[in-house]
């Protein structure tokens, strides 16, 4: 595919090649819904005639929109169905605050950090600057923290990295761990032992594994104890070597539990700790181990921290606005009023 592009102060002309009515219809969407989605998000105007597009608005945003249209058109080459979700992901990756950087900086960043995580059942592509930085950190550090709101891909990308490392024989085992605290609820009323009580809360980890490895393979690896999914309490006293360990929902660890977990890491292992400090469900008076670890370990060599924000949310666009609304409401200035 080739494209030509010319621009004036507030206008950009874009020609997408080859001129394929089928691919162009896929790109634009029913009643140009995909173009309208880009217009609304970037506050620009897009008009099209065949494979010729004119974009009007601020220079930075029309250039960003032009890049998005070119990339989406490339996706149509292999009959990829362009959906509102895919347009949203591309918009997230080219968020306005990132467009403010120079094209040279963006280019250098993409060349050094873009990663494709290949798993047996799917290809996972990190979207946006923070997701790419997160994957880059996981591949280059032994202990990694992914911190931020729900829906930013922290757990999913960590599981993808774990599966890739396992298939490449870099590690021998995958351990997925969560604290036995959830949304202020008590576990005592649930039937079964502790493992069975916590099992429903580990469902997001199972779902990610099923998507990347397939149901039968996951069940077989769990039977062989190659994949272990367990509550945090089961980690005490163990040394975890040649393993990929993910501690999910770590905002619900106590300071003592976080220290215990981090000191389990053995040779040849990678650990990823994910959590959202704004959603701590610990009993009143208990301090979050994640919040404490951020302060204590921030400058320790070999430990990486990736901070996500609402702009990195890859779920429904409304989730981003919900996160922003809660952050604004809970800000110190608001509480004083």
User: CB neighbours of 189 closer than 8 A, spacing ≥ 6?
Assistant: none
Within 160-226, strands assigned E span 173-178
Q: Assign 314 a pLDDT band (cuts: 50, 70, 90).
A: low
Helix ranges (H only) for 54-118 are 59-75, 84-93, 96-99, 103-113
Q: Does the domain at residues 2-99 carry the CATH identifier 3.40.50.880?
A: no
Residue 38 has pLDDT above 70, yes or no: yes
Distance from C-alpha of 328 to C-alpha of 34, rounded to nearest angstrom = 30
Phi, psi torsion values for 189, nearest 5 degrees: -75, -15
Distance from C-alpha of 315 to C-alpha of 313, rounded to nearest angstrom = 6
Fold of 115-336: Rossmann fold (3.40.50)
Q: Is the pTM of this model over 0.85?
A: no
Across 226-235, 297-306, 322-331, least confident range? 322-331
Which pLDDT value is given to residue 317? 64
Query: Beta strand pairing status for 270-275 and 243-247?
Result: parallel
- Structural domain boundaries in the chain: 2-99, 115-336
Q: Assign 135 a pLDDT band (cuts: 50, 70, 90).
A: very high
Q: Which two tokens stand for residue 288?
A: 């979050």
Beta carbons of 147 and 276 less than 8 angstroms apart = yes
Mean residue pLDDT across the chain: 81
Residue 115 has pLDDT above 80, yes or no: no
Which pLDDT value is given to residue 189? 47
Q: What is the pLDDT of residues 146-201, one digit of tens each?
A: 999 888 889 999 999 999 999 999 899 999 998 875 544 444 444 455 555 556 66
């Amino acid at each position: 595919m080739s494209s030509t592009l010319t621009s004036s102060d507030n206008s950009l002309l874009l020609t997408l090649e080859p001129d394929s009515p089928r691919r162009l219809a896929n790109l634009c969407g029913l009643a140009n819904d995909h173009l309208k989605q880009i217009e609304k998000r970037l506050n620009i105007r897009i008009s099209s005639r065949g494979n010729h597009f004119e974009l009007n608005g601020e220079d930075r945003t029309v250039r960003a929109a032009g890049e998005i249209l070119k990339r989406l058109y490339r996706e149509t080459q292999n009959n990829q169905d362009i959906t509102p979700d895919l347009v949203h992901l591309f918009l997230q990756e080219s968020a306005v605050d990132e467009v403010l950087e120079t094209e040279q900086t963006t280019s250098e960043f993409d060349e050094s950090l873009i990663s494709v995580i290949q798993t047996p059942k799917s290809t996972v592509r990190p979207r946006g600057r923070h997701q790419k930085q997160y994957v880059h950190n996981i591949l280059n550090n032994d202990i990694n923290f992914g911190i931020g709101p729900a829906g930013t891909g922290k757990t999913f990308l960590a599981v993808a990295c774990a599966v890739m490392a396992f298939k490449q024989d870099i590690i021998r085992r995958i351990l997925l761990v969560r604290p036995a605290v959830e949304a202020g609820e008590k576990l005592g009323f649930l039937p079964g032992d502790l493992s069975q009580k916590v099992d429903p809360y580990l469902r997001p980890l199972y779902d990610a594994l099923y998507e990347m490895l397939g149901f039968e393979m996951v069940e077989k690896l769990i039977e062989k104890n190659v994949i272990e999914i367990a509550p945090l309490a089961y980690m005490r006293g163990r040394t975890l070597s040649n393993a990929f360990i993910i501690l999910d929902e770590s905002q619900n660890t106590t300071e003592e539990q976080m220290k215990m977990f981090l000191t389990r890491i053995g040779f040849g292992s990678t650990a990823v700790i994910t959590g959202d400090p704004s959603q701590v469900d610990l009993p009143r008076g208990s301090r979050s181990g994640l919040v404490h670890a951020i302060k204590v370990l921030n400058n320790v060599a070999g430990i990486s921290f990736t901070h996500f924000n609402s702009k990195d949310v890859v779920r429904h666009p409304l989730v981003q606005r919900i996160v922003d609304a809660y952050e604004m409401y809970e800000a110190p200035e608001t509480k004083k009023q």
